[in-house]
A = this chain, B = another copy of it.
Amino acid sequence: MDHKPAELDPAAHRYVWLANIIRDAVKSGAFREHEALPSERDLAEKYNVSRDTVRKAVRLMRERGVVYSDHGRGNFVSPAIVRGMTRFIDSFSEDTGKRGSVAGQTLLDVAPTGASLALSGLLNVPAGHPLMRVKRIRLIDDAPVGLHDAYFVLPRDAVLTRAQIERAGSLYKLLKERFAFTPAEAVENLSATAAEAEDAALLGIKPGSPLLVCERITLSDRREPIEYCVMKYVPGYRYSTRISAHSDAD
């Protein structure tokens, strides 16, 4: 990660800066669970920002699970159980930002290929469109925990050989630099299945063992499909999510 030294960089957007200040205060234990933050008007005065900027900061912290708001009462510190569950985004960023440099994976296959009929429908490209297939095993403490089978969409006239990939070192850096591979959003679909012979052999488990299956379609910043990936995980592996009930007055 390209971590800046100063987390409280005042040059950043002021609401992000303020949100980080308060987040760190909460993290350091300056507030008890369910304790009220200073009012938004007080915070605005204290930090010399407008109340609207305070509200943006509060909204950000709410999305991070750090605080919750009660109309007419105040903003309150979420209990640790909720604060700890901000992993809901990590499962994605870990697999996008950090991946490629992740310790704990074995590459099984990296090769250019063409879109099958099924993949062309999922990825919204014509059949035969150039794709890059990446198949690998994910390891935790050197033990296999999951299989990834990914297909990346390449530009129509793209040429990408295995040799180029091996020369580049990191596939994801290569994709980002050459093809502006910029994941912005993803749709995931989870279910359970029984391990087939090949999967079982790779994961070191018995055929028929239960597996957690996670299918993912990744979208670019312009919301075009750029990756389809099937991930199969052994029991014990856990996938966490946080969902909120914002009923938007439909």
Contact = CB atoms under 8 A, between A and B. Distances in A.
Contacts of A193: 192, 210, 235
Copies in the complex: 2
Majority secondary structure of chain A interface residues (helix, strand, loop or mixed): mixed
Interface of A: 3, 7, 12-13, 16, 19-20, 34, 60, 63-64, 68, 70, 76, 78-79, 81-82, 85, 88-89, 91-93, 96-97, 124, 183-194, 208-213, 217, 219, 221-225, 233-250
B210 A68 contact: no
A233 B185 contact: no
A193 B245 CA distance: 28
Contacts of A244: 89, 92, 184-186
A209 B191 contact: no
Contacts of A219: 82
Contacts of A249: 12-13, 16
A56 to B, nearest CB: 11
B60 A245 contact: no
B188 A241 contact: yes
Nearest to A65: B185
